[in-house]
Amino acid sequence: MKKIVSSLLIVSAFLLTACGSGNTNSSSASSATNSSTEKTSASSDANSGASEQEYTDPSQLKDSYDVIIVGAGGAGMAAAIQAKEAGANPVIFEKMPIAGGNTLKSSGGMNASETKFQKEQGIEDSNDTFFEDTLKGGQETNDRDLLRYFVDHSADAIDWLDNMGITLNNISYSGGASVKRIHRPADGSAVGGYLVDGLIRNVHEREIPLFVNADVTKINETDDKISGVTVSINGEEKEINAKAVVVTTGGFGSNEEMITKYRPDLKGYVSTTSEGSTGDGIKMIEALGGQTVAMDQIQVHPTVVQKDGMLISETVRGEGAILVNQQGKRFFNELETRDKVSAAETELPEHYAYLIFDDALAKRAKQVDFYKEQGVVEEGATIEELAKKIDVPEETLKATLDTWNKAVADKKDEEFGRETAMDYDLTEGPFYAIQIAPGIHHTMGGVKINTETQVINKEDKTIPGLYAAGEVTGGLHGNNRIGGNAVADIIIFGRQAGNQSAGFVKQ
């Protein structure tokens, strides 16, 4: 690490609050371009605290690399590390002033089945159950080949991360999962900051160049073969050559124009996604004849703070929180899939709800400290005091909590048939409430790939040398993504893209 510091641009990235309205269309790095020593601040829902990172100085840019990776989120960094391990010489271009993308904001965790950590903790799970849960969550519209590869390589991905010092051994429930399967850092904190810090550390240890403020505007072909990219780096446009390009540019949740094109009904919705989630990779691949799938499948998350698009992690429900309406009553199974819970909230006359939980839960879910710091959590020493703060009838809220705590004790939710996340009752004051409603969270559609992460064109043929992984791709999640499956996606298919592209350039 020390060896390369002299050639690195030092950028301090202070991870602050959530991502604003999400209505930004900014797709250009120039808006985010800074002088080489300038301090940069970034947004994150992840409760990861301040993080200082170092990036490669633009003067170190070469004309040619084996593999160009576009986008330094989780998929891009996993691809780079794996490509390097497979003997290639990769480079990463990131258009924002810091690496991380949506991955940095991910707050819940990473799903995986048959892991060593599940086994150690006596959690019975199987790849087939994971497959079935995901298929059910995706309303049976998932690409089954991708899904089979995904579940079968999930435990290996957890081991791969663990071997790099990124240990996700705290396991909980997430919506749509029939067993405890979502893997988080040991202290139960948000996965994003921890994962991104760990991946950047490993990128540096392997001396992989990582350029920020490097906006890739075009993927180039010469004689019908992928030949590299055009990148605007600190405002200067350059053509960089490579035999293989891996596109890991994430989704389009922050591109209002694209959201409205594919889902006019979501116009004006608040978004939880990062500023760089502008769909650039999809557009660049489409320009090369690439096929897209399920572009209208845009996930709306049920627990988003409306004033700033801050996501309240599913971990809070996974650890036992309930949802109540303005009358103080539960109205749905909180652990149903995101599409169904969101629809139930939208049907309420007030179109919002409150997440209700106790102090014991706040201690188990570390993210709550961050939510408190952001001023979105109402607190009452007693349930009655909390009811007054959020203006719901005190007696009703008290009765709702009593009924719920009995359901937890009996392990039977007679009202809404909830079966998971019932390990803890809500009895330890102070009590808390967060007002939430649905917001845009994830774009499940994207470019079509096969299990080797090769991009498929409109004639259903591969585009040799062109690979894609992560949220830029479509198909794995079907019509509804299960919480925890996107982080698994970026590691599993990011690694695969690294391996495959490295193999391709050696041919």
Ligand X SMILES: Cc1cc2nc3c(=O)[nH]c(=O)nc-3n(C[C@H](O)[C@H](O)[C@H](O)COP(=O)(O)OP(=O)(O)OC[C@H]3O[C@@H](n4cnc5c(N)ncnc54)[C@H](O)[C@@H]3O)c2cc1C
Enumerate binding residues for ligand X (CB under 6 A). 45, 70-76, 93-96, 100-103, 105-109, 191, 215-216, 248-250, 272-274, 276-277, 280, 311, 441-442, 470-471, 483-487, 490
CB closer to ligand X, 164 vs 399: 164
Q: Smallest distance from the beta carbon of 240 to ligand X, in angstroms?
A: 12
CB closer to ligand X, 24 vs 272: 272
Distance CA 403, CA 381 (A): 20
Q: Smallest distance from the beta carbon of 229 to ligand X, in angstroms?
A: 8
Residue 438 contacts residue 458 (beta carbons within 8 Å): no
CB closer to ligand X, 105 vs 330: 105
Task: State whether residue 259 is helix, strand or coil.
Answer: helix
128: left (phi over 0), alpha (psi -120 to 50) or beta: alpha
CB closer to ligand X, 276 vs 328: 276
Check if 338 is active-site.
yes
479: closest CA among 296, 261, 355? 296
Distance CA 172, CA 109 (A): 9
Residue 193 contacts residue 47 (beta carbons within 8 Å): yes
Task: Provide the pairing of β-strand 90-93 with 67-70.
Answer: parallel
Element (H, E) at 255: none
Q: Smallest distance from the beta carbon of 233 to ligand X, in angstroms?
A: 10
Q: Residues near 74 by Cβ (< 8 Å), separated by ≥ 6?
A: 101, 103, 106, 195, 196, 199, 470, 487, 490, 491, 494
Q: Smallest distance from the beta carbon of 105 to ligand X, in angstroms?
A: 4
Distance CA 277, CA 406 (A): 43
Q: Smallest distance from the beta carbon of 507 to ligand X, in angstroms?
A: 26
Q: Smallest distance from the beta carbon of 329 to ligand X, in angstroms?
A: 28
CB closer to ligand X, 249 vs 453: 249
Residue 22 contacts residue 253 (beta carbons within 8 Å): yes
CB closer to ligand X, 101 vs 478: 101
Catalytic residue among 184, 338, 364, 495: 338
Q: Smallest distance from the beta carbon of 284 to ligand X, in angstroms?
A: 7
Q: Which residue's CB comes closest to ligand X?
A: 73
Which DSSP state fits 481?
P
Distance CA 500, CA 76 (A): 13
Beta strands in 429-473 (DSSP E): 431-443, 446-447, 454-456, 462-468
280: closest CA among 243, 223, 231? 231
381: number of Cβ within 10 Å: 10
CB closer to ligand X, 199 vs 353: 199
**Catalytic amino acids?**
338
